[in-house]
Structure 1
């Protein structure tokens, strides 16, 4: 099969690429990361500059970084889902929101999670900390709340591109997991409604269901919802 996606079902960034593939019914092979293989000895470890996943292969092409993977799919494997708006101005807004969700929602959610781990890139220091770094957790949660407020204001003044777009792919996993570590507050009803709307999409629901067997990996213990 020409297209192969290397990733893990519990990975938020893997979801981001999977949502785009599912939305357009694109034929591909999912290659789950073998966690018994040392990070930098694996295919993704060698393909990505910092050894991260997901990684997409399309024939001889190797594409890293999820936003670029979705851009690649939009160009080379288009379908009914408008992953990138045709209008250049709308495409700029779509890419802007993609960066907001990746950096300030997903990134700060992962900052909180990382506070529970010893440096995972060092095999001699891997695993959970005896005590999480409380200063990192507090900082990550504070920045998540700031991002929530910004997004609430933006949603009140603007309209999202139609689903399933690059924004959908970025927003769904970031809001799914971020709400686990710092619940969306009551004064952000538009953002909470967007999260519920995204989780109801078939492409997103499929990712949620496929990730259920791995919820024990979540450092806090996954909440009994979603």
Structure 2
């Protein structure tokens, strides 16, 4: 039975898993969760009652949480691109950066999105203010951390870059990365040019109207 991934193309965490699958050319079936595919939605909810995607199904085993999905793929379906280093301390660095992008970039961007989705003008304003404050801190830290690096953890594309790509993609839509952060801006551009992420971005292009803050006419 082929691997099955439940998710939505416009979802940042679905894109994170798709990048890993595309990097190693792993065959899988994509099942888009949404109102037009109630059978896929029902199966997804049966597999993961916390109502979060993506979820990977491999035979009788289901795997939730994107970072764990990517680690599972490396164990069960390894390919030429090793997204988590074998050396323990190098792997720890990659996992830290993965957590940084999820928690300090994507989750902070989500504050603004949730405010906009509330439909309340004050909540929208407060959510954006909180997001800007936190993202500015994250951008400043990343500008220093990425100095002299091709990818997040240095020369090799890793789990950290799978997390960084959608995180920075949507964060920059929410609170644009300023010109004073040229290293970070260049890194985001390299991520967009990476074939695995470029494919994920193109597959999600038709859903850009769903971005509650308004998608910019770029990328």
Q: Same fold (TM over 0.5)?
A: yes
Correspondence for 1:198: 191
Between 27-36 and 196-205, report the one with greater CA deviation. Answer: 27-36
Do the aligned partners of 1:24 and 1:79 also contact (CA within 8 Å) in 2? yes
Matches within 5 A, 1:42-57: 42-57=42-57
What's the RMSD between the two structures over aligned residues? Answer: 1.8
Correspondence for 1:66: 66
1:151 Cα shift?
A: 1.0
Distance 2:203 2:36 in 1: 20
Matches within 5 A, 1:3-152: 3-35=3-35, 42-118=42-118, 129-131=119-121, 133=123, 134-152=125-143
Distance 2:101 2:35 in 1: 27
1:139 Cα shift?
A: 0.5
Which runs of 5 or more structure 1 residues have no equivalent in the other structure? 119-128
Distance 1:63 1:84 in 2: 17
Distance 1:15 1:181 in 2: 18
1:144 Cα shift?
A: 0.7
1:222 Cα shift?
A: 0.8
Helix, strand or coil at the partner of 2:116: coil
Helix, strand or coil at the partner of 1:115: helix
Report runs of 4+ in structure 1 exceeding 6 Å deviation: none
Distance 1:168 1:70 in 2: 12
1:153 Cα shift?
A: 1.4
Distance 1:110 1:36 in 2: 25
Q: TM-score, normalized by length of structure 2? A: 0.92
Do the aligned partners of 2:113 and 2:127 also contact (CA within 8 Å) in 1? no
1:116 Cα shift?
A: 1.2
Do the aligned partners of 2:95 and 2:159 also contact (CA within 8 Å) in 1? yes
1:49 Cα shift?
A: 4.8
Distance 1:60 1:212 in 2: 32
Helix, strand or coil at the partner of 2:146: helix
1:2 Cα shift?
A: 2.6
Q: 1:187 aligns with which of 173, 180, 184?
A: 180
1:187 Cα shift?
A: 1.7
Helix, strand or coil at the partner of 2:147: helix
Do the aligned partners of 2:97 and 2:153 also contact (CA within 8 Å) in 1? no
Answer yes or no: is 1:156 the counterpart of 2:147: yes
Q: TM-score, normalized by length of structure 1? A: 0.89
Distance 1:218 1:132 in 2: 19
Distance 2:108 2:171 in 1: 8
